[in-house]
A and B are shown apart, each in its own frame.
Chain A
Amino acid sequence: GENVEQHPSTLSVQEGDSAVIKCTYSDSASNYFPWYKQELGKRPQLIIDIRSNVGEKKDQRIAVTLNKTAKHFSLHITETQPEDSAVYFCAASMDTGRRALTFGSGTRLQVQP
């Protein structure tokens, strides 16, 4: 089955700096890669996703890049703000309604004001 590794486990940045979180996956058949933000005690919230037919996607301060050959994808947050502080999870799956997501181990991002 799919295995997703995520690094780093914790990340502390100053407000305004950029943050980068990296993930690798094992199953070359995976073609859907979402990123979730989870605040303490809450459900994960989708912040951005990418499919394997594109290499990069951007939404305001958030961007995701995908390298299918190397089987890794990254989340980039620019101009970080204190409210970006949360746990971020990457995930991977085949892009069908019947295939569950496999999650990375999570990254705790702390943005220092």
Chain B
Amino acid sequence: GAVVSQHPSWVICKSGTSVKIECRSLDFQATTMFWYRQFPKQSLMLMATSNEGSKATYEQGVEKDKFLINHASLTLSTLTVTSAHPEDSSFYICSVSRASGLSGELFFGEGSRLTVL
């Protein structure tokens, strides 16, 4: 069964509006979740690392005020794209890793395809 659930799977919005994407870890508690972005025919690029109970860590070039991440519980992280513009249209995927230790496998959500008109 699914380990990570992501919602919505697709969303279309008008330029200037905000969109929230949820990522839920279903099978285990996740102190750390990762948010990736994938443009068409490109690779997955890490946007930020979401840490439960603390501020997210953003990768270079990713605007923290535009991509708001909240990780308020051990099973839920949200990504809000604020004041979305057409260039933000992309496939956003969250991922969860099991607790620290020898297992480095990432479990991915289904992804959320954002289209900004």
Chains A and B belong together in one complex: yes
Residue of A nearest to B101 (CB): A97
Residue of A nearest to B30 (CB): A97
Complex CA gap A93/B44 in Å reads: 14
- A interface majority secondary structure: loop
Interface residues of B, count at CB 8 A? 27
B109 touches A93 (CB 8 A): no
Quick one: closest B residue to A89, CB to CB?
B43
In whole Å, how far is B68's beta carbon from the nearest beta carbon of chain A? Answer: 19
A83-113 to B contact mask, C-beta < 8 Å, 1/0 = 0000001000111111111111110000000
Interface mask (A35-79 → B, CB under 8 Å = 1, otherwise 0): 000000111101001010000000000000000000000000000
4 more CB-based (< 8 A) A-B contacts, given A98-B97, A101-B104, A101-B106:
A41-B113, A89-B43, A103-B44, A105-B42
A–B Cβ pairs within 8 angstroms, 11 of them: A34-B106, A42-B110, A43-B110, A49-B104, A89-B43, A96-B100, A97-B31, A97-B97, A100-B46, A101-B104, A105-B43
Taking Cβ atoms with an 8 Å cutoff, the residues of A that contact B are: 32, 34, 41-44, 46, 49, 51, 89, 93-106
Find B104's partner among A41, A93, A104 (CB 8 Å cutoff): A93
Closest 6 CB pairs of A and B: A32-B104, A97-B100, A95-B104, A43-B108, A97-B97, A100-B34
Q: Are A102 and B46 in contact (CB under 8 A)?
A: yes
Residue of B nearest to A43 (CB): B108
Contact A43 B111, beta carbon cutoff 8 Å: yes
Contacts of A98 in B (CB 8 A): 31-32, 49, 97, 100
Q: With A95-B102, A102-B46, A106-B43 as known contacts, state yes or no: A44 contacts B108, CB within 8 Å.
A: yes
Question: Is B87 an interface residue when CB atoms closer than 8 A count as contact?
Answer: no
Does B65 interact with chain A (Cβ within 8 Å)? Answer: no
B93 within 8 A of A: yes
Cα distance, A51 to B91, chains bound together (Å): 29
- Cα–Cα distance between A99 and B104 once the two chains are bound (Å): 8
- Shortest beta-carbon distance from B9 to chain A in Å: 9
Whose C-beta in chain B lies nearest to the C-beta of A99? B104
Q: Contact between A43 and B109 (Cβ–Cβ < 8 Å)?
A: yes
